[in-house]
Structure 1
Amino acid sequence: MKTFIKHIAVVLCVLVFSGCNKWLDVKPTDQITQERLFSEGIGFRNALNGIYQYIAEGNLYGRNLTWGLNSALAQDYIGNDISQEYQNAATTFVQTDPAVLAIGTNIWGNAYKAIANSNKLINEIKGKDTGLFQFGNVEKKLILGEAIALRAMLHFELVRLFAPSPAQDLSGQYIPYVDKYPSYYTAPSPTSTVLQNIQHDLEEAKNLVAENDTILNRASLSTKLSTRLVGTNVAEERFFSFRMMRLNHVAIAGLLAKVALYAGDVERALSEASYVYTYGPSGTKKWWEFTSSTNAAGVNIYTKFADDVLFGSFNTDLVADITAYKGTTVRYRINKQVSAWFPSAERDYRLNLLIPDAVVSTDLVSQKWIATNSTGTFRSQQNTFAPVLRLSEVYYIYSEALYRKGLTADALTILNQVRVARGKINTFTDQSESGFYNELLNEYRREFLTEGQTLFAYKRLGKGMQVSSTQLIPMDERFTLKIPEGEFIN
């Protein structure tokens, strides 16, 4: 297999900051040259925002990596009520089908385009004097750190989809780690090397953004949804607002914990997860919280349970794009196994996010991807982003790392904190290995239903997915996408 990474010219758009509910507005008719883009500090802001806008589209976080392909592969939906290409990938598992190969090619190509643009930005900013930036070295480090974190995060998405899990094959060479610009050809690296590079990048990025996020502009994170989701109207402050939609210090630490656990590095996962835990409602800082019972129900429900989102991918047209893609022939009804995931005898606020299907009222669909018409505070803004990393997932990582270290009682304490926050009134007490992992995977099911993260918990653990009372799907090569052969990225 040969993978060619072509020289990609960075052509990004001027971004106009406007409106209290929008952090950027892309004007694609005003394309500018690289020289002009990087001649001023504002150009680096625009370039970074352009990458975030690009990854929010349907081929990446706007569909495939969240409610689309990843959720279909996780068997979140009734198999014949999803788009045909997803049926081929997730129901019949014909990964060589042209439509399935096209999905993989689009993910691969768009991810590497975003990576190339990140590398271009990294190259350009490193040599610039801090005086070019309005807020000097802090701003320069922030932009550099986020670009490095974007590069790492996108490589992680690729290695999870296009390579077997590390537990199955750690030395196989499946994807290239591209950290240079331009890169005309980069050979695939062993999965172990790719994961090491991801962790190295995330560690650097976490340190680079720390001064902005934890000292100078900490209020953009610590004052919860009022700044993380809504932001400020002060023009010179808007770039430093909306930190939930950017790879902030805490989100990067959470990604580090996630990558470390996927790589089998329990000690690193434990360290990073425990650090993120301090920012949660049970920690000392309490910058994040879990959505309250009041906001987790009724006509004014928080459709994305936004309070604990560490990072979300922002797209003002997200709901419109989803509606257009689904069309009228399929409705993405939830797998009928949902009754086993949400036992009727147990209270669980996450069940409130599922509503009766408009046609088959005995089936359910998710509100997460349907526009809310509520005018209540923080409601309409939840139409505009796809959750990518939640505090709850870091709690699960923390719990599992504790369990694998033999601290079973502590592990159950952390796991139960999420369960209680989501409305459960019964305490989970089974410390056996089978009992713990069964409940952990059930929690992934309930928490990330149609968000695209459940698949990788099963893949990492090599656990088969029980998709009906009689069907168990083994976690094998069917859940690893075919790498585009000789793929050129244009």
Structure 2
Amino acid sequence: MIMKLKNIITILLATLVLLSSCEKWLDVQPKTKVESSDLFQSEIGYKDALWGVYTLMTGTSMYGLNMTVYLDALARLYSSAGSMGAAWQLHNYNYTGSNAQAAIGNMWSATYNTIANINNLVANIEGADKSLFLQDNYNVIYGEAIALRAFLHFDMLRLFAPSYVLNSAAPSIPYVKEFNYNITPQSTVDEALTKVIEDLEAAAALLKQSDPIYTGRVITTTTDNGYLLNRQLRMNYFAVKAVLARAYMWKGDKTNAYTCAMEVVNSGKFKWTSVDNIATTNELRDRTFTPEQVFSLYIENMASNIQYNLSLDARWSSRYMRVNKTYFTRVYPYATDWRGVNTLYLWSDIVTGSYSSERVSTKLWQFSTMPVAYKRRMPLIRLPEMYLIAAECRPNEAIGIINTIRQNRGISEIFSPTSTEAQIINEIKQEYLREFYCEGVAWFYYKRTDSNTLDGYSSFQKANYVLPKPQEEVEFGSRK
């Protein structure tokens, strides 16, 4: 990564604010520069550095927009992505367009900047006096940090390199594990994925010893100031296992992928969302299916992040990421599916202007009176993905798994027990399309399976699966 590193770590300080009797949430404070030598003198400093990493991840260059919502434009989940702006250019694979080029470049630079912050934390905690830390906090902070390093590198690999199935020996990305001025050489796809898995396995070992979500240790608001509360908003033990399931699937190792996915499913920590929390008022609706979130981010500026692409503000109509009703009906063919039942729950008709026959997703819409537990959530991993991975790994179990998903989405039609293998594969794909709007998951499914065509779009070129690296990386880092 070509970046100017200093012995100053830039972090976004965050404080815990009690917003309900049972949950603590991030309240993002102004950006502050803190000398590393001062920051890592106490456990609080390590916590602040880790909070800073999570907060960097919420920016629009990363999971606040570009690496979630915009990936759905790449996956052609919308019949149109407007007529201007980054989403429109990405939707049309115009990677040299100024807006798309900026969005892609920002994904790379913001992610590697965040990785640099992680590596600074890791370098310090590996040599730290463990007596600085309360109880199991050393293992938790260290485990989360190296898991996040793997998580971010894995997304860079999935975005900027060929898929494993296509060419595992191809040059891919630099896997950066040191905080210094040196240029890290590119790894091959296989080498980078191996490093991702190594970091994740090491993180899982640490978190298995100490993460309350696994150990069952009771945490209250008075225990360590509630630092270990609400593990869904952190890279917890089961989130690590879920990322491992993704990574093993990317490699084609279905045995390990199934094992990791089912550990998450069978943990009992993540529940299907109740219809009562969906079939309710706009203000009370759990739009992102909170109980199913294995790992999510709290994004302070969610409403402003999505206003140009996913609102009904007429000022931004040229940027709407919208679905026409023909496409909508094809994706959501079942009348009782909560995710697509007309426009009752997660979609809204565009009622004015030239787009009045189309719809926008309301999944990430924010309301001032929403329950605190549902506000500003960006899901990065949810329970249904683990079911779908398991179904793909075990075709003999797939029909039952698909019907479990259907039952928990209000679909009364049973997937036929006499379905062929081709029908099962197609239904798994359709579930990826229905389930993960605004989350960026469908794009990676298409790429992992090396799909020749995207749903309803037969002109797709496989070369579009690999985003171009920033020009300075190519010129000065000798990237391929």
Q: Calculate the TM-score normalised by the size of structure 2.
A: 0.89
Which whole-Å deviations, capped at 9, do the CAs of 1:206-228 have from their partners, x for residues lacking one?
Answer: 111122234555556xxxxxxxx
Alpha-carbon distance in structure 1 between the residues aligned to 2:288 and 2:438: 11
Long gaps (5+) in structure 2: none
Q: Pick closer, same or farther for the CA change 1:185–1:341 going to 2, 3 Å.
A: same
Q: Pick closer, same or farther for the CA change 1:207–1:358 going to 2, 3 Å.
A: farther
2:437 aligned residue: 449
Q: SS of the counterpart of 1:10?
A: strand
Alpha-carbon distance in structure 2 between the residues aligned to 1:463 and 1:15: 41
* 1:89 matches 2:90: yes
2:330 aligned residue: 340
Alpha-carbon distance in structure 2 between the residues aligned to 1:390 and 1:209: 19
Structure 1 residue 465: deviation in Å? 4.0
Structure 1 residue 201: deviation in Å? 0.6
Kept in 2, the 8 Å contact 1:373–1:380? The answer is no
Alpha-carbon distance in structure 1 between the residues aligned to 2:467 and 2:378: 22
Q: Pick closer, same or farther for the CA change 1:395–1:187 going to 2, 3 Å.
A: same
Alpha-carbon distance in structure 2 between the residues aligned to 1:16 and 1:84: 34
Structure 1 residue 321: deviation in Å? 2.8
Alpha-carbon distance in structure 2 between the residues aligned to 1:450 and 1:13: 25
Alpha-carbon distance in structure 1 between the residues aligned to 2:26 and 2:262: 33
Which whole-Å deviations, capped at 9, do the CAs of 1:155-180 have from their partners, x for residues lacking one?
Answer: 11111111121111111012111111
* 115-124 vs 312-321, which moves further: 312-321
1:40 aligned residue: 42
Please provide the CA RMSD for this pair: 2.2
Alpha-carbon distance in structure 1 between the residues aligned to 2:360 and 2:178: 43
Q: SS of the counterpart of 1:303?
A: coil
Q: Amino acid of the residue matched to residue 333 of structure 1?
A: R
Kept in 2, the 8 Å contact 1:467–1:473? The answer is no
1:227 aligned residue: none
Q: Pick closer, same or farther for the CA change 1:197–1:82 going to 2, 3 Å.
A: farther
What are the equivalent positions in structure 2 for 1:176-187 lying under 5 Å apart? 176-187=174-185
2:201 aligned residue: 203
* 1:255 matches 2:243: yes
Q: Pick closer, same or farther for the CA change 1:324–1:40 going to 2, 3 Å.
A: farther
1:306 aligned residue: 290
Higher RCO (Cα < 8 Å, 6 or more apart): 1
Alpha-carbon distance in structure 2 between the residues aligned to 1:29 and 1:269: 39
Kept in 2, the 8 Å contact 1:313–1:385? The answer is yes
Q: SS of the counterpart of 1:78?
A: coil
Structure 1 residue 358: deviation in Å? 4.1
2:404 aligned residue: 417
Q: SS of the counterpart of 2:380?
A: strand
Structure 1 residue 392: deviation in Å? 0.6
Structure 1 residue 466: deviation in Å? 4.5
* 184-193 vs 98-107, which moves further: 98-107
1:355 aligned residue: 348
Alpha-carbon distance in structure 1 between the residues aligned to 2:445 and 2:81: 24
2:28 aligned residue: 26
Matched residue count: 455
What are the equivalent positions in structure 2 for 1:54-453 lying under 5 Å apart? 54-67=56-69, 69-81=70-82, 83-91=84-92, 93-133=93-133, 135-136=134-135, 138-210=136-208, 211-214=210-213, 218-219=217-218, 233-234=221-222, 236-279=224-267, 286-299=268-281, 300-323=284-307, 328-329=316-317, 330-336=319-325, 337-343=327-333, 345-351=334-340, 352-359=345-352, 360-375=355-370, 379-403=371-395, 408=396, 410-429=397-416, 430-453=418-441
Alpha-carbon distance in structure 2 between the residues aligned to 1:183 and 1:432: 55
Alpha-carbon distance in structure 1 between the residues aligned to 2:40 and 2:52: 13
Q: Amino acid of the residue matched to residue 389 of structure 1?
A: I
Q: Pick closer, same or farther for the CA change 1:41–1:156 going to 2, 3 Å.
A: same
Q: Pick closer, same or farther for the CA change 1:395–1:115 going to 2, 3 Å.
A: same
